[in-house]
Chains A and B, each alone.
Chain A
Amino acid sequence: MLTGKNELAQDMSKTLFDKIWDSHVVKHVDDGPDILYIDRHFIHEVTSPQAFNGLRNRGIRVARPDKTVATADHNVPTKDQHLPIRDELSRTQVNKLIENCEEFGVELYGLNHPFQGIVHVIGPELGITQPGMTIVCGDSHTSTHGAFGAIAFGIGTSEVEQVFATQCILQPKPKTMKIEINGELGKGVLSKDIILYIISKISTSGGNGYFVEYSGSTIRSLSMEARMTICNMSIEMGARGGLIAPDEVTFEYIQGKEFAPIGVELENKIANWRHLTTDQDARFDKVYEFKAEDIEPMITYGTNPAMGIGISDRIPNGSVRASEAESFKKSLHYMGLEPDSSLLGKKVNYVFIGSCTNSRIEDLRLVAELVKGKSKADDINVMIIPGSKQVEKQAIEEGLDKIFQEAGFELRQPGCSACLGMNEDKVPSGEFCVSTSNRNFEGRQGPGARTLLASPLTAAATALNGYITDVRELI
């Protein structure tokens, strides 16, 4: 899916985003949205049923079921998945997905299927997500797939129906933003800390209207899974998505995955994927640069993901923008926190390790390494939700489940779980939860729940001590 030679010769300086976007435009209309062709469409039980109804009302089929993949993740229990779902509405919704996929010929990795899991975990781990693709899903964290050098973004249900009906979507082309991070990460600092740091600098709306490319030596040094964590949270600064140019790390990751190309086909693909880079003199509409050395383990204190601080910092005394003052006050009031105070040492009763941001095998390994031979604090509830059946299986094969069990961490079954509190995994009202998920909005983890976003290491360290802990003291 590369641009043709002529086009490249005429316009030598293109960003990676422009190259992929332009090569997928079916029709361009001035001052209108482009008709963009979609290579992969992921769907799940919550944002698809109304789109299937729409097809039925119009009397049409899914145009390309072969490019559509379904899973059940948002609204599934994380215990006893072999039993019928207890909650009636949830059961109906998950069954509806099964019926819809059967009727419209869509491949479904539903509950108890060995490939089931959080949609943004399974796409990459099955090799369905590949460089140069356009990928959409009715979920804002679709940006995760951008880690492979793909244009991936979240869409609404009307747009899900568009893609079902035509394999295309009408989209205005976003502007481009480059975020470059150079240097070496400090001890105990993970990619989650990088992205929380970036969002705290750019604000929750600073990326609105942009598609981000992450680059720089720090990004290059990261594993694929760590890169996914970064791209995953692009939406939390308002950006449509974020991508990273593919490299050897990417190609290595894809090889051998279930649906990855093999043999000569793979070689040819990799040869093409090597061209997926931003040209040296390409211009971005906006550029930010950060130093890895400035980033320490991060934690949020407020009710949007931009309200984050280095773990040794104090909560700010007021907002940057005057008009945000009321929202800032409301936010701290909801959280029950004081300006100018430190979060270190604060007692916490819940820790959630999971979500499309941090539920992959590397996340679980990092946690296991830290807690091996240790025990959680007495009063704390610790839940680990693997991102997929494959992650769960791998964790058990590596004996991580035993380490978690000995530490008092409860390893459950795959799903979105307490990231959004749609199933019964919720944090009680007024309780603090250090969470590896992506959103700390009011009530996100349950009505009245107080979420503090952090990395898997910070979450695990907090679980061991029972209070918010700087993980660097434990390693």
Chain B
Amino acid sequence: MKKFNILTSTCVPLPIENIDTDQIIPARFLKATTRDGFGENLFRDWRYSGGENPVEDFVLNTAKYSGKILVAGRNFGCGSSREHAAWAIADFGFNAVVSSFFADIFKNNALNNGLLPVQVSESFLDQLFDAIEKNPSINVRIDLPKQIIEIEELNLRERFDINTYKKHCMINGLDDIDYLRENKKEIEEFEKQL
């Protein structure tokens, strides 16, 4: 898994609440049997009208916004458990998603793919949206070891939570299967008493 330590980048804002994984990657694009190439269809039906014509004012189609951080409204990633949503976001080039609330399964999926979900307060999210709108080239810095997200030039910062184990995995690029397999003996012992 890709390692994550400190990321400084401009942001792409998507101030919509309850963005479900069917929007992130519609079901008709889930027919692949590998993990690659899903970025092409990220937010497909918001990016293209009639399936093909780019929607000019959609954030991913404007030159105004770019970067490795996606900033989205509350309850991001609800709905279907499809990990393809996390793959699509990462494949498109994002390394982190910031929201005031993540759906559980999406959060797990993101963490399992080196895509950092950063959960911030409602007020911080509002300030972030404001700052990005006023200056699309403003840099946001995410420091995972210190668990801090900040805009240095505005002196705006907040601490975010992350599970200690998951933080360790993200920083070191470790995945859960390595860890689980280290516990093989305990699992076998458990199975014996079933």
Which residues of A sit under 8 angstroms from B27, Cβ to Cβ? 74, 420-422, 444
Separation of A236 and B31 alpha carbons in the complex (Å): 24
Flag if A326 contacts B15 (CB, 8 Å). yes
Whether the Cβ atoms of A166 and B181 lie closer than 8 Å is yes
- Residue in contact with B81 in the complex, picked from A1, A31, A47, A443, CB distance below 8 Å: A47
Closest to B26 in A: A443
B163-A32 in contact (CB<8A): yes
Is B186 in contact with chain A by the CB < 8 A criterion? Answer: yes
| A156 interfacial contact with B, CB 8 Å | yes
Of B55-63, B97-105, B138-146, B148-156, the segment with at least 4 beta carbons within 8 Å of chain A is B97-105
Contact of A323 among B23, B122, B180 (CB under 8 A): B122
B: number of interface residues (CB 8 Å): 55
The CA-CA distance from A439 to B81 in the complex, in Å, is 13
With A140-B81, A238-B104 already in contact, the answer to whether A323 and B17 are too (CB < 8 A) is yes
Verify B176–A443 contact, CB threshold 8 A. no
| B133 at interface by CB-CB < 8 Å | no
The reply to whether the CB of A223 lies closer than 8 angstroms to some CB of chain B is no
19 additional A-B residue pairs with CB within 8 Å, beyond A208-B103, A422-B27: A26-B187, A27-B183, A54-B177, A74-B30, A93-B32, A93-B33, A138-B81, A138-B83, A156-B105, A157-B84, A157-B109, A162-B176, A167-B187, A204-B18, A205-B101, A240-B104, A326-B17, A441-B20, A441-B79
B147 at the interface (CB under 8 A from A): no
Give the distance in Å from the alpha carbon of A330 to the alpha carbon of B163 in the complex.
Answer: 34
Confirm or deny: A50 has a beta carbon within 8 angstroms of a beta carbon on chain B. yes
A35 touches B17 (CB 8 A): no
B101 — which chain A residues lie within 8 A by C-beta? 205, 208
B interface footprint on A153-189 (CB within 8 Å = 1, 0 otherwise): 0111111011001111010101000000000000000
Instruction: Specify the chain A residue showing the minimal Cβ separation from B48.
Output: A447
CB contacts under 8 Å to B, within A21-64, are 26-27, 29, 31-33, 35, 37, 46-47, 49-50, 53-54, 58
| Distance A155 CA – B82 CA, assembled complex (angstroms) | 8
Question: Which listed residue (A74, A140, A162, A240) contacts B177, Cβ 8 A?
Answer: A162
Interface string of B88-110 (1 = CB under 8 A from A): 00000000000001011100110
Let me know if B22 and A304 touch, CB within 8 A.
no
- Inter-chain contact A327/B16, CB cutoff 8 Å: yes
| A90 lies within 8 A of chain B by Cβ | yes
B76 → chain A, closest Cβ, in Å?
Answer: 10
Is A442 among interface residues, defined by CB-CB distance under 8 A? yes
Contacts of B34 in A (CB 8 A): 49-50, 53
Contact B187 A35 (CB under 8 A): yes
Q: List 24 A-B contacts (CB under 8 A).
A: A27-B183, A29-B165, A32-B165, A35-B183, A37-B187, A47-B83, A53-B35, A90-B31, A93-B32, A158-B83, A159-B108, A166-B183, A205-B18, A238-B78, A238-B104, A304-B20, A323-B73, A326-B15, A327-B17, A421-B28, A439-B80, A441-B79, A442-B45, A447-B51
Which residues of chain B are within 8 angstroms of A158 by Cβ–Cβ distance? 83, 109, 112-113, 175-176
A420 to chain B, nearest CB (A): 4
Task: List CB contacts (< 8 Å) of A1-35 with chain B.
Answer: 1, 26-27, 29, 31-33, 35
Least distance between B140 CB and chain A CB atoms (Å)? 20
Q: Are A327 and B187 in contact (CB under 8 A)?
A: no
Find A447's partner among B26, B33, B104 (CB 8 Å cutoff).
B26
> Could you tell me the distance in whole angstroms from the C-beta of A19 to the nearest C-beta in chain B?
16
Establish whether residues B163 and A157, one from each chain, have CB atoms under 8 Å apart when the complex forms.
Answer: no
Q: Which residues of B contact A422 (CB under 8 A)?
A: 27-28, 30-31
Chain A 128-148 interface 0/1 with B at a Cβ cutoff of 8 Å (1 = within) = 000000000011100000000
Docked Cα-Cα span, A154 to B51, in Å, equals 30
Known: A46-B30, A170-B179, A204-B18. A439 touches B163 (CB 8 A): no
Q: How far is the CB of A357 from chain B (nearest CB, A)?
A: 14
Hey, which chain A residues are within 8 Å of B23, CB to CB? Answer: 441-443
Question: Which residue in A74, A156, A170, A441 is a CB contact (below 8 Å) of B180?
Answer: A170
Check if B164 sits within 8 Å of A165, measured CB to CB.
Answer: no
- Chain A residues near B79 (CB-CB < 8 A): 140, 235, 439, 441
- With contacts A26-B186, A47-B81, A90-B31 taken as known, whether A32 is within 8 angstroms of B164 at the C-beta atoms is yes
Provided the pairs A161-B177, A162-B176, A304-B78 are in contact, do residues A443 and B83 lie with their beta carbons within 8 angstroms?
no
